[in-house]
Amino acid sequence: MSTSALERCVGNAQRFLSDNWSQRPLLHGHEDEGSFDDLASLGDFDHMVSSMFLRTPSFRMVKDGRTLPFPQYTKTARPTSGTIDGVANPAAIYDLFEKGATLVLEGLHRYWRPLSRFCRELEVELGHPVQVNAYITPPASQGFAVHSDDHDVFVLQVYGDKQWQVYDLAYDAGDPTTTLIDDTLSTGCCLYIPKGFPHSARTGEHASAHLTIGVLTHTPGTLLKEVVKLAEKEPLFQTPLPARLADDPDALRQAIRDHLRELTQWIDKVDVDEVAARAARVLATTRHEIVTGQLEQLLALPRLGRDSVVRRRAGSVCLVVAMDDELAVLLADRELRMPLLTEGAMRFIRDREEFEVGELDEHLDEAGSVVLVRRLIREGLLEADI
C-alpha cells in the first residue's frame, strides 16, 4: 500500500489530524534522508535559476528579513523580437547567494510536475488548497527573523539542515518557556507549523534547501460569505440607506442594529441546502488544473471508441450536482453545465477510476458515450489509455 502525501509529511495521518492539525506544531523525522528526493533537489533549483528563464515575481532574494531590490539580480532580456524585464540573472543570483542571501522560488506547484502532483494529493486529503515555495539558504545565514504566517505550513527539508525555533502563541523573546521546538531539521524531515505560531530558522555550517507548503485553509467565514451573497439578493436588504447616514453616528449605529435584527430573522429561514450547494462549489473549485500530456490526449481523440479505456486524471475533482433543469459538474478550477440526461453517466464516471467507454452505454447511446468522454478529456477530467 502506497504512502499518501500527508503520511509522508507527518507519519500517522489520523493522529496528526486529531492532535496537531490547526492546534500545535509537529516535527516528524524520517530514517531515509531521501524521503523527498522525488519532489525537488538542489540540482532542480539550480536548473530553475540557470535554465528556465524565471521572471519576477516568481522568485526573489532575501537577506536579514528584507527582500532585496529586484534590479540587483534581474535583467532585461530579448528572447525574440521584443524585450522582457525582470528576468533572472543567474550570475547575480549566485553572487548574492555567496554573500549570504536566501533564494526564494515561489509557486512551484504551478510548473514543477512532481510538486504539482504531490500538492494536489495533499489538497484532496486536507480539503484545502495549497501552494509551495522553495527557500535555498547559504551557510551561517538567516533569511527571516521571528515571524508568524497567516496560514498553516509544512516545511520539507530536501537538502542540508537548518535550525528551527517554534514558539508558543504567547511568544516572549525574553521567556525561554515559550519555545515549543528548538531542533535541527535534517534532510528528509518535515516540520508542521499551524497558523499564527511564531517561528524562525537559520543555517549553521551547512547550506539548506527546504520546501514550504502553505495551506490556504477555508474557514467558517468561507461558508458565511455564501450566506451574505444570498442576503444581498434579498429585497429586504436592497433598500437604499438614508442620505448622509455617515454624518450621523447615532443614526448609523441604530441602522446597523435594525438591519442585524432583520438579518437574524431572515437567517432562520435560509435554505441550508442552497447554501451548502453554493459552498461546495467554492470548496471544490479553488485549485489549479493539472493537464500534463494534454496535447497527446487531444491528438488521440479521433481514435476514441467504445473499446477505449479511460481513467480519471490523478488528483482530479468531480462533484455532480443535479439542478432543476441541468447538471452541474464541479472540477478543480471551474464548473461545467450539462443536460440532465447525462446524470447517470456522470455519476458512473465520478465513482470510478478507470473504465471502458462502452460501459456508459447503459446511461447513454453509443454516440453519446463517446461524445461525453471526448468532452471530459478536453476538460481535463479524464485521460485515455494511449
Percentage with pLDDT > 70 across the chain: 99
Q: What does the pLDDT read at residue 244? A: 96
Residues 84-117: tens digit of each pLDDT: 999 999 999 999 999 999 999 999 999 999 999 9
Structural domain boundaries of the chain?
5-215, 220-283, 294-384
Strand 190-193 to strand 26-28: parallel, antiparallel, or no bridges (unpaired)?
antiparallel
Check: CB of residue 167 under 8 Å from CB of residue 188.
no
**Buried b / exposed e across 143-179, counting CB within 10 Å, b at 16+?**
bbeeeebeebbbbbbbbbbbebbbbeeebeeeeeebe
- Which amino acid belongs to residue 187? T
Residue from 93, 38, 29, 46 nearest 209 by CA: 46
Q: How high is the pLDDT of residue 324?
A: 83
- Range 31-57 average pLDDT: 93
Residue 142 phi, psi (nearest 5): -140, 120
Q: Using alpha carbons, select from 236, 169, 239, 237 the residue that is nearest to residue 199.
A: 169
pLDDT value of residue 253: 98
Q: What is the mean pLDDT of residues 266-289?
A: 90
Q: Is the confidence at residue 225, as pLDDT, over 70?
A: yes
Q: How high is the pLDDT of residue 144?
A: 86
**pLDDT value at residue 1:** 62
Q: Cell triple for residue 227?
A: 450566506
What are 29's three cell numbers? 523525522
Contacting residues for 278 by C-beta, under 8 A, at least 6 apart: 226, 229, 230
Question: Where do we find the cell 551557510?
Answer: 139
- The pLDDT tens digits of the residues spanning 330-366 come to 998 889 999 999 999 999 999 999 999 999 999 999 8
Which DSSP helix (H) or strand (E) runs through 320? strand 319-322
Lowest mean pLDDT among 9-13, 26-30, 284-288, 331-335: 284-288
Q: Name which of 169, 210, 217 is nearest 191 in CA terms.
A: 210
pLDDT in tens, 295-304: 999 999 999 9
**Confidence (pLDDT) at 118:** 96
Which of the four pLDDT bands, split at 50, 70 and 90, describes residue 175? Answer: confident
pTM score, two decimals?
A: 0.90
Looking at domain 5-215, its CATH superfamily turns out to be: Cupin (2.60.120.650)
Grid cell for residue 197: 505560531
In angstroms, how far apart are the furthest CA atoms of the chain? Answer: 73
Q: What is the pLDDT of residue 173?
A: 76
pLDDT at residue 238 above 70? yes
- Categorize the per-residue pLDDT at 32 as very low, low, confident or very high, splitting at 50, 70 and 90: confident
Q: How confident is the model at residue 151 (pLDDT cuts 50, 70, 90)?
A: very high
What is the CATH architecture assignment of 294-384? Alpha-Beta Complex (3.90)
CB-count burial class (<10 Å; 0-12, 13-18, 19+) for 59: buried
The whole-angstrom distance between residue 40's C-alpha and the CA centroid of its chain comes to: 17
Q: What pLDDT does residue 263 have?
A: 95
Question: What secondary structure does DSSP assign to 227-254, as a single string?
Answer: HHHHHHHSGGG-SPPPTTGGG-HHHHHH
